[in-house]
């Protein structure tokens, strides 16, 4: 079938730059003079609050899921939010995202990538806070949720309605990012158990891309990639003929990913 991700690109838009004068380099006095003390320079810069928010996707029960917690702000009472936190003074932002994941799910070796910065001045009711959105994919079975005081839960992605802050917008951007990335790289395997049937794999792609795919062509495509290892084991617990279980050949993919050109459904 004809299908490709449709990514909306920012138009060549007339975003009005707020009328304001230059605010930086005020420490610099003379034309052409070099600044000797970078620390003084940086101290003259304004500071702002920065957080990380993670859209944590899982796949279970043939559905795309997202891990959310209840907001602990009274004005967002009964609304859900992404998992987020501040960034420590000497912490790389990727490291902050990994830390959040580890604290909340116990998982360490996880797919994680930056999506986008969200910076509307009024996005947080407590003042100006910019946030860096991350997308992560994990197998819902392979971790233990760390239940803190906020209820942490897997939510069916399609059932999510209103959210706290601008987190609905962040979640949608992360989902579009995921739709695109899963066709560029074989990320889906991060959402599945180590051994999976081809039906599970296809259901995953169908759920994320929102399409239905022809079973024979889907199998042909993955067969031609030669990145699946046949385990010679079979599914159990299914009320029908069990399918074969496969593993993804991560090592082989790592070796040849320079030549990788994407999966095109």
Partner DNA sequence: TTCGTATCGTGTAAAGCATACACCTTTGTA
Partner DNA sequence: TACAAAGGTGTATGCTTTACACGATACGAA
Residues that bind DNA (CB under 7 A): 1-3, 197-199, 214-217, 219-221, 238-244, 264-265
100, 84 contact by CB (below 8 A): yes
186 sits in which H/E element? none
Q: Which of 95, 147, 172, 211 binds a second copy (CB under 8 A)?
A: 95
Residue 17 touches a second copy, criterion: CB under 8 A: yes
**Least distance (Å) from DNA to the CB of residue 235?**
7
Residues 115-144 that bind a second copy (CB under 8 A): 116-117, 119-121, 124-130, 132
- Site mask for a second copy (CB under 8 A), range 44-83, x = bound: -xxxxxxx--------------------xxxx-x------
Which of a second copy, DNA, none does residue 47 bind to, with CB < 5 to 8 Å depending on kind?
A: a second copy
Listed in sequence order, the residues at least 6 apart from 163 whose beta carbon sits closer than 8 Å to its beta carbon are 68, 79, 80, 81, 82, 171
Residue 220 touches a second copy, criterion: CB under 8 A: no
DSSP codes, 199-220: HHHHHHHHHHHT----HHHHHH
Residues 159-178 that bind a second copy (CB under 8 A): none
What residues pair up with 137 in beta bridges, in sequence order? 57, 111
Nearer to DNA, 22 or 216 (CB): 216
**Least distance (Å) from a second copy to the CB of residue 241?**
33
CA distance 247 to 260: 19
Nearer to DNA, 151 or 214 (CB): 214
186, 253 contact by CB (below 8 A): yes
Closest among 216, 218, 189, 194 to 206, alpha carbons compared: 218
């Amino acid at each position: 079938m004809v299908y490709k991700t449709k990514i909306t690109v920012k138009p060549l838009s007339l975003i009005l730059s707020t009328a304001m004068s230059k605010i930086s380099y005020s420490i610099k006095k003379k034309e052409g003079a070099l600044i000797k003390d970078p620390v003084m320079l940086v101290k003259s810069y304004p500071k702002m609050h920065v957080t990380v928010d993670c859209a944590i996707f899982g796949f279970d029960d043939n559905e795309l899921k997202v891990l959310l917690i209840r907001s602990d702000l009274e004005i967002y009472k009964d609304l859900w939010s992404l998992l987020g936190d501040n960034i420590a003074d000497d912490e790389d932002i990727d490291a902050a995202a990994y830390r959040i994941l580890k604290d909340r799910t116990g998982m360490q070796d996880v797919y994680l990538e930056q999506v986008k910065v969200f910076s509307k001045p009024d996005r947080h009711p407590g003042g100006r806070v910019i946030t860096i959105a991350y997308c992560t994919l994990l197998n819902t079975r392979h971790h233990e949720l760390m239940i803190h005081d906020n209820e942490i839960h897997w939510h069916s992605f399609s059932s999510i309605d209103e959210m706290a802050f601008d987190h609905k917008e962040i979640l949608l951007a992360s989902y579009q990012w995921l739709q695109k990335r899963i066709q560029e790289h074989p990320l889906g395997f991060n959402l599945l158990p180590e051994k999976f049937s081809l039906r599970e794999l296809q259901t995953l792609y169908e759920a994320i891309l929102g399409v239905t795919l022809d079973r024979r062509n889907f199998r042909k495509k993955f067969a031609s990639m030669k990145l699946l290892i046949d385990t010679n084991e079979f599914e159990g617990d299914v009320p029908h003929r069990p399918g074969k279980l496969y593993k993804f050949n991560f090592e082989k993919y790592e070796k040849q990913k320079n030549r990788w050109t994407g999966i095109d459904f």
